[in-house]
Amino acid sequence: MSKPQPKQKPCTLMVIAGVHKSDNGQVVMPGEVIEMHFPNGKYFNLLTSKLLIALLDLAGPAVVEDRAHVARIEALNWSHKDAGTIERAIRELQQTTVELTTTDGKEFVTKSGPILAHVERRHQASTREITVEFSKTFREVIDRSNYWGTLQKTSAMKMESKYALALYSFASLHANRWSPYTDWKIEDLRKRMMGDAKTLGRWQDFKRRALEPAIEEVNHLTDVHIRYEPLPLRPDGKRRRVDAVRMYVRRKTEEEMAEVKSELENGRQGRSRRRINQHERDMQRSLDFSVAVDKSLSEPLRRTLLR
């Protein structure tokens, strides 16, 4: 009688293979890719970030193979750009140095290099294809990855802010964890969201121009819901100088996802107004819930539920 084999721990590549086979509209993003750093301070723009998601979706589990991946320009051109613009955005993935932290089984290792090693586009009108090869560094990191986030591809592609797309990506890492919140230092959060330190260095600027609009867009278009509170708080509830935020992330209910599906099927016209209306409804629900809890529960339990 054969000895039973130990249950294999899921790794990112296994999850990528399963989702790719199911073709359910989701894209698996390795955690190391979501958390990559830009040592030169040159961040991806919105189009390049979307193209990275699209190329990972195209490659599926073959992303770790030393081979070429061919895509038709039309399949990547949901934004209705010309072929030259698409090519230039993809070449950013070849020309921008990123840092990815992985493990070799013994210790953490930081690897640096481009995401793509090779990009080629044939110019004949009949071809309209672009060929890419992922770099050795990128392939090795994904092959060793054991944590990931899952994005709804349609939601990601319809986003209009690079801050929102970055926030959605790393929120997906935390949406299924047992802890209801994660604390982030402002500087770290700004880097995660690809925010420039020169223009978004002040908390008020970062909050007004990046964080709050991004949260509204994520809550409006995706399968996760985010809210935050500035830290630290004094014992009396009043705020001191803000140097961190507490982010609460959860997956949406079926009822909420029905609203998201309806919004994604609508055109862009009127979306900003609908997003503002939804944000106001969310704020009112939160206020109503807070008042109800405050009236009916003890202080320790009230604080627990409001988290």
Q: Model confidence over 49-107: pLDDT tens digits?
A: 999 999 999 999 999 999 999 998 888 877 778 888 898 999 999 999 999 999 887 89
Whether residue 143 lies inside any domain: the answer is: yes
Asked if residue 114 has pLDDT above 90, the reply is yes
- Farthest CA pair distance, the chain: 71
Average pLDDT in the 225-241 region? 75
* Residue 286 banded pLDDT, cuts 50, 70, 90: low
Verify that 196 and 125 share a domain, yes or no: no
Whether 1 is in a domain gets the answer no
Looking at the fold, whether 164 and 115 belong to one and the same domain comes out as: no
Domain C-terminal end among 155, 180, 208: 155
198 pLDDT tier (thresholds 50, 70, 90): confident
Instruction: Report the alpha-carbon distance of residue 12 to residue 2 in Å, rounded.
Output: 29
232 and 110 both lie in a single domain: no
Q: Which of residues 155, 173, 192 is at a domain's end?
A: 155
Q: Is the pLDDT of residue 157 over 50?
A: yes
Q: Kindly state the tokens that stand for 55.
A: 């190329």
CATH number at residue 305: 1.10.10.10
Contact 221, 264 (CB under 8 A): yes
Query: Is residue 42 very low, low, confident or very high in pLDDT (cuts 50, 70, 90)?
Result: confident
**Could you tell me if residue 3 is inside a domain?**
no
Same domain, 68 and 133: yes
Q: Helix or strand or coil: residue 180?
A: coil
Is pLDDT above 80 for 164?
yes
Residue 115 CA to its chain's centroid (Å): 17
Q: Let me know whether 29 and 78 are in one domain.
A: yes
Residue 217 domain boundaries? 158-307
CB count, 10 Å around CB of 306?
Answer: 14
Mean pLDDT, rounded, for 8-30: 90
Co-location of 95 and 171 in the same domain:
no
Q: Which two tokens stand for residue 269?
A: 């016209």
> Quick check: 57 and 78 in contact, CB under 8 A?
no
234 within domain boundaries: yes
What's the pLDDT at 300?
Answer: 57
Contact (Cβ atoms closer than 8 angstroms) between residue 252 and residue 196: no
Helix axes of 212-221 and 271-296: crossing angle, nearest 10 degrees: 100
Same domain for 146 and 200, yes or no, is no
With respect to residue 34, please indicate whether it lies within any of the assigned structural domains: yes
Q: Are residues 78 and 90 in the same domain?
A: yes
Q: Are residues 164 and 294 in the same domain?
A: yes
Q: Residue 142 above 60 pLDDT?
A: yes
Number of domains within the chain: 2
Structure tokens at 185: 């230092």
Q: What phi, psi does 195 have (nearest 5°)? A: -90, 140
Model confidence, pTM: 0.84
H or E stretch including 149? strand 148-152
For 150, phi and psi rounded to 5 degrees?
-115, 125
CA angle 249, 251, 255 (to 5 degrees): 130
Residue 113 lies in a domain: yes
- Whether 285 and 204 share a structural domain: yes
DSSP-based three-state secondary structure for 131:
strand
Answer yes or no: do 188 and 297 share one domain.
yes
Do 267 and 237 fall into the same domain? yes
- Of 135, 155, 175, the one marking the end of a domain is 155
- Band of residue 222 on the pLDDT scale cut at 50, 70, 90: very high
